A and B are shown apart, each in its own frame.
Chain A
């Protein structure tokens, strides 16, 4: 079967692959590029575990075809820590016990990152709204909300 080329930056690195037409970005990232931090929880757009950031916008990689992402800049959770140093958002998830099974965590962090990128000091309601497309079936929502608010405080202290 004919392959189609895709080219984008992933966490700042240039990536180019030949994929089957119709391949989702989730499968392309996981199976071709080797970034398994986005998870396939439902493949229906309802769980948010596959959330990635494309050109600054939160997207569901399970419903996005990879070949529509040519020329874009994609961010995933695996690209956040620089030189092994966790970002404040990751640190906050650790410190507030905002992970249980960990399957929803990369998607949650993506949704939270987009929020904080646009709204550095969000209200609790804004955090809840920003995470509303991401399901945590271990039902640890409260520590996750606290993690995002904690990270926001840490960011604003660093900026001050």
Chain B
């Protein structure tokens, strides 16, 4: 590995010993010998298996649930419904005051997406749990569903989530997160060209090789040990504590070894219900998603729509940018209000633009709840922004890389959300990219620097 030391040489102490040096990974010896303990590698005597009965409808009222046949099925130990969950309505981000609580652990009166958990069956074997789950009878009244964000925002659209009362998340700033900087309309009025484009993405599943799950063991001291592959240990512990109305001191979470996460294991879904099962049966409980559940049930990256309107000058300067972003949360919030907010902060991208207007909406539809995934709120936006940058460069007949040098943010530039830029290295990255990709740019761009003395 080559470590370039010529950049910022005068502003950095050059006494790095570890950076740039290969070091063995501490977890590799366990991996190559098969000794690394993933959560499912623990097996306990008397362990029960939890299988979920899920909604076959995108949106439906539950008229009744009949678990009597399932309860009689050989090998079944316990069948759980909404009434068994101490605090059934929750939302993950309530821990950082992002409410209201809007999601049910087990559906109560209504299902809002196809695959939503309705009844949990605990049995001696996976097979018995599957057979009993097939015997649970749920009487549904199917309701009209909405799958498109713009449809969901129209008056008269089916109401997805009653806890919000509207099909979008209500921020303290109103119906969307807003960034206002300069005078965007004046910018458009003075621009040589205007380009407005819209960009859309579909949900993306993380598809970790190890599916989401946990194993819970009731200990003799009235505590519960939860072996889990969560990526969010304390979020999960605290939310489990709320859902179960159980002090956190009763819960011992063991994790840290995750067979692929990519952001897909930060939701609090399997642990609370498995702990409840262990509490009510007094036995260890294993709840592990099947591959099909991992692909269909676990949160994907949100579908997004991004509309970008730019005012650009013939000399390459972008003088106004208006972005409207839509994040499809699916039926419940999970981490999406935060994702949409991140989008607002991230636009207008790593460029210095004097007039900026940003609105980002978090929209509810009857799709699978979306959540975190690698740079959520930013990744799809970057795709849209950079395609837009190429189109703008083409519009004014400029080299797309030189066009980015002209607009790149540098230290001291004020960003649209009013954080001054510091530690920017975009110019230098593009200079290296220019060399590496053999895409030459004019000498004046190669002489630029992100670092502005005194900035």
Query: How far is the CB of B230 from the nearest CB of chain A, in Å?
Result: 14
Please, how many residues of chain B have a CB less than 8 angstroms from a CB on the other chain? 34
Give the CA-CA distance A106 to B36 in the complex, in Å.
Answer: 10
Contact A137 B27 (CB under 8 A): no
| Interface secondary structure of A, over-half rule | loop
Other-chain residue from A78, A94, A136 in contact with B29 (beta carbon distance below 8 A): A94
Residues of A contacting B260 in the complex (Cβ-Cβ under 8 angstroms): 101, 103, 137-138
Closest CB-CB distance, B187 to chain A, in whole Å? 41
Are B27 and A99 neighbours in the complex by a CB distance under 8 Å?
yes
Stretch of B106-114, B115-123, B207-215, B439-447 at the chain-chain interface: B207-215
Is there a chain B Cβ closer than 8 Å to A36's Cβ?
A: yes
- B38-46, B80-88, B219-227 - the one binding chain A: B38-46
Q: Does A43 contact B (CB under 8 A)?
A: yes
Q: Is the CB of A80 within 8 A of B259?
A: no
A36 touches B31 (CB 8 A): no
Cα of A30 to Cα of B62 in the assembled complex, Å: 39
- From residue 47 to 69 of chain B, which have CB atoms closer than 8 A to chain A? none
Q: Which residues of B contact A93 (CB under 8 A)?
A: 28, 31-32
Q: Give CA–CA (A105, B211) in the complex, Å.
A: 16
Contacts of B43 in A (CB 8 A): 30-31, 34, 36
Contacting residues, chain A, for B291 (C-beta < 8 A)? 41-44, 46-47
B13-35: which have CB < 8 Å to A? Answer: 22, 24-25, 27-35
User: Which A93-110 residues have a C-beta within 8 angstroms of B?
Assistant: 93-94, 97, 99, 101-106, 109
Q: Which of B33, B209, B258 contacts A86 (CB 8 A)?
A: B33
| Pair count A-B, CB < 8 A | 103
A102 and B41 in contact (CB under 8 A), knowing A47-B209, A137-B207, A137-B209?
A: no
Report which of A38, A41, A109 forms a contact with B32, defined as CB distance below 8 A.
A109
Instruction: Specify which chain A residues have a CB less than 8 angstroms from the CB of B33 in the assembled complex.
Output: 37, 77-78, 80-81, 86, 90
Tell me the residues in window 33-79 of chain A with beta carbons closer than 8 Å to chain B beta carbons: 34-44, 46-47, 49, 76-78
Contact A94 B41 (CB under 8 A): no
Q: In the bound complex, how far is the Cα of B35 from the Cα of A35, in angstroms?
A: 9
A103 to B37, CA, bound (A): 10
Which residue of the partner chain A has the closest CB to B22? A97
A101 vs B258: C-alpha distance when bound (angstroms): 7
Instruction: For A94, give its contact among B24, B125, B127, B290 (CB under 8 Å).
Output: B24
Q: Which chain B residues (224-274) contact chain A, with CB distance < 8 Å?
A: 257-262
* Contact between chains at A137 and B208 (CB < 8 Å): yes
Contact A41 B209 (CB under 8 A): yes
Tell me if A135 counts as interface (CB < 8 A to partner B).
yes
Q: How far is the CB of B204 from chain A (nearest CB, A)?
A: 13
Partner among B22, B27, B29, B38 whose Cβ is within 8 Å of the Cβ of A39 = B38
Q: Which residues of A contact B259 (CB under 8 A)?
A: 39, 41, 101-103
Known: A103-B209, A106-B34, A137-B209. Is A40-B29 also a contact (CB below 8 A)?
no
Q: A44 contacts which chain B residues (CB < 8 A)?
A: 291
In the complex, the answer to whether A40 meets B40 with C-beta atoms within 8 Å is yes
- Identify which of B36, B125, B211 contacts A102 (C-beta below 8 A): B36
A94 in contact with B32 (CB, 8 Å)? yes
Q: Is A142 an interface residue (CB 8 A)?
A: no
Any chain B CB within 8 A of the CB of A20? yes
Contact B34 A41 (CB under 8 A): no
The answer for the CA separation of A125 and B37 in the assembled complex, in Å, is 33
**Separation of A103 and B30 alpha carbons in the complex (Å):** 11
Task: Write out the residue numbers on chain B whose beta carbons fall within 8 Å of the beta carbon of A104.
Answer: 209
> In the complex, how many angstroms separate the beta carbon of B260 from the nearest chain A beta carbon?
5
In the complex, residue of chain A having the shortest beta-carbon distance to the beta carbon of B261: A101
Q: Which residue from chain B places its CB closest to the CB of A110 in the assembled complex?
A: B34
Question: Across the interface, which residues of A come within 8 angstroms of B125, CB to CB?
Answer: 20
Measured between beta carbons, the chain A residues less than 8 angstroms from B27 are 99, 102
Binary interface encoding of chain A residues 101-139 relative to chain B, with 1 for a CB under 8 A from any of its CBs, else 0: 111111001000000000000000000000000011110
Interface residues of A in 8-43 (CB under 8 A from B): 20, 22, 30-31, 34-43
A81 CA to B33 CA, complexed, in Å: 7
| Given A41-B291, A99-B28, residue A135 in contact with residue B209 (CB < 8 A) | yes
A-B contact pairs, 5 of them (CB 8 A): A42-B291, A78-B35, A86-B29, A101-B209, A102-B28
The 4 A-B pairs with the shortest beta carbon distances in the complex, nearest first, are: A37-B34, A103-B259, A102-B31, A36-B41
17 new A-B contacts at CB < 8 Å, known A77-B32, A99-B28? A20-B125, A39-B40, A43-B290, A47-B209, A77-B34, A78-B33, A78-B35, A80-B33, A94-B28, A97-B25, A102-B28, A102-B30, A102-B36, A103-B210, A135-B209, A137-B208, A138-B260
